[in-house]
Amino acid sequence: MNIEQARFNMIEQQIRPWEVLDPQVLDLRFVVKREDFAPAAYRNLAFADMEIPIGSGQVMLAPRIEARLLQELGIQNTDKVLEIGAGSGYMAALLAARAEYVISIESRPELADFARQNLARAEVANVTVEVGNGINGWAQRGPYDAIVVSGSLPALPDALLKQLRVGGRLVAIVGKAPVMEAQLVTCSSEGIYNTINLFETVVPALDGAEARTGFSF
């Protein structure tokens, strides 16, 4: 396999047609290499338009989904970012390339270790991976300029929205199969949130979200 040609094809044939046109987001795919964060058995599939299993029933999202969510967040180099669902660490690495600092929460200790190892090998120094249930955010380190949920939720918990700074942005995929929608939520002023529906898709639920009850709105 010509890896660099496969990477170029992924960007031009999968990501760009999904309205990902920000040159910085596109260029990141050449710098932060997806195959370096995939399990060894799946590295040859890192450029395919598919989710990649990473163990414990979890997956890396498809490249076009990752890129579109990253673009919609509009990360700045002064941003403190919260990611819910560290997985392989790949989305955290993409975020870290643009943000000042990233805190990534992972409920499964074995995946948190996998993410830490991948990030260390990639020499990403501005990410902290914490083990815990992040469905309601990580208030002890907030507020945040940006929040990304790397898995679907049946609805957005109010507690998560409250951890956005004024001007902060959140992207998440909300709903239940077969109907889910990626949403961009902006905190326009204290306690006021504006939501834009971005696109329809279906992705696996965030770990623990399906069984969890008691979401508040």
Let me know: does 38 contact 63? Beta carbons within 8 Å.
Answer: no
The confidence score (pLDDT) of residue 213 equals 39
What is the CATH number that goes with domain 3-201? 3.40.50.150
pLDDT tens digits for the chain (217 residues)?
799 999 999 999 999 999 999 999 999 999 999 999 999 999 999 999 999 999 988 999 999 999 999 999 999 999 999 999 999 999 999 999 999 999 999 999 999 999 999 999 999 999 999 999 999 999 999 999 999 999 999 999 999 999 999 999 999 999 999 999 999 999 999 999 999 999 999 999 998 786 553 444 3
Amino acid at 35: E
Is the entire prediction scored with pTM above 0.85?
yes
Amino acid at 178: P
Let me know: does 105 contact 130? Beta carbons within 8 Å.
Answer: yes
Q: In the chain, what are the domain boundaries?
A: 3-201
Show Cβ contacts of residue 23 under 8 Å, excluding neighbours closer than 6 positions: none
